[in-house]
C-alpha cells in the first residue's frame, strides 16, 4: 500500500492518462472503423479496394511498429510538433479501427439484403441506406465484439508508456527506476487496468440490454 500512498499523484496522473488515451483512441477507432466498413461494402470499386487495403495493412502490422512509424516518421513527413499523447492516440486509434471495421462489416452482413433493396427502390442513395437503414439494424449484433475490441485497446495502450505518454505503464517504469519492488507496483497497475476494463464491460452490457429491449 505504501508504494501507492507515497506516489499517489503520479499514479493518479498515470491512471488519468490511460483513461484519456483509451477514450480518445476509441473515438478515432470507432469513427474510422465505421467509415472504412462503409467503404468495404460500397458499390464503388476504388472505395472497396481502399477499405480492404486499410484493414489488411493495419491488421497485419505489429502495433509497436505502428507506434514507431507515428512517433518517428509521421512528424518528419507530415506533421511536426504533435504531442506524444496525440501521436499515441492516433497510432492506437488507427490500429484498432481495422478491427472495428471488420466487426461493423460483419454486423452489416447480418442485415437482410432486402432491407437495402427496399431502400434503393424508394430512391435512397447508398450513404442514406447505410446510415438510416443498415447501420441501425447492424448495431445490435456489433455491440458484443466491439466490447472485446475496446477492452483490448485499453490493454494495448500500455505500449504508449514506452513512448513518453503518461499512463499506467509509464508509472510502473517510474516506480521501478525509484527502486520499488516490482510485485506491488504491477499489482496496482493491474488493478488500474481492471477498473478501466470493468467500466467498459459494464457500459457495453448496459448498452446491449437497452438494444435488446428496443428490439
State pLDDT tens for residues 65-113.
Answer: 999 999 888 888 777 778 889 999 999 999 999 999 999 999 888 888 7
Residue 96, all three cell numbers: 484498432
Model pTM greater than 0.85? yes
Residue 87 contacts residue 70 (beta carbons within 8 Å):
yes
Cell match 467500466: residue?
A: 199
Residue 97 contacts residue 29 (beta carbons within 8 Å):
yes
**Mean of per-residue pLDDT scores for the chain:** 85
Residue 30 CB partners (closer than 8 Å, separation 6+): 97, 100, 146
- Nearest by Cα to 146 from 92, 105, 186: 105
- Nearest by Cα to 203 from 136, 139, 144: 144
Amino acid at each position: 500500500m505504501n508504494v501507492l500512498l507515497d506516489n499517489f499523484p503520479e499514479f493518479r496522473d498515470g491512471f488519468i492518462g490511460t483513461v484519456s488515451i483509451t477514450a480518445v483512441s476509441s473515438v478515432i477507432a470507432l469513427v474510422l472503423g465505421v467509415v472504412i466498413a462503409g467503404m468495404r461494402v460500397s458499390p464503388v470499386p476504388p472505395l472497396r479496394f481502399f477499405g480492404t487495403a486499410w484493414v489488411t495493412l493495419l491488421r497485419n502490422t505489429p502495433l509497436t511498429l505502428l507506434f514507431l512509424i507515428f512517433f518517428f516518421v509521421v512528424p518528419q513527413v507530415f506533421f511536426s510538433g504533435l504531442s506524444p499523447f496525440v501521436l499515441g492516440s492516433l497510432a492506437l486509434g488507427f490500429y484498432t479501427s481495422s478491427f472495428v471495421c471488420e466487426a461493423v462489416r460483419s454486423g452489416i452482413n447480418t442485415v437482410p439484403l432486402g432491407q437495402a433493396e427496399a431502400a434503393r427502390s424508394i430512391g435512397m442513395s447508398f450513404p442514406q441506406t447505410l446510415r438510416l437503414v443498415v447501420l441501425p439494424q447492424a448495431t445490435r449484433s456489433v455491440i458484443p465484439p466491439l466490447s472485446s475490441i475496446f477492452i483490448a485497446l485499453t490493454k494495448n495502450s500500455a505500449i504508449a508508456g514506452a513512448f513518453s505518454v503518461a499512463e499506467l505503464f509509464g508509472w510502473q517504469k517510474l516506480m521501478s527506476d525509484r527502486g520499488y519492488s516490482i510485485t506491488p507496483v504491477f499489482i496496482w497497475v493491474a488493478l488500474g487496468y481492471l477498473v478501466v476494463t470493468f467500466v467498459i464491460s459494464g457500459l457495453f452490457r448496459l448498452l446491449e440490454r437497452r438494444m435488446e429491449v428496443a428490439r
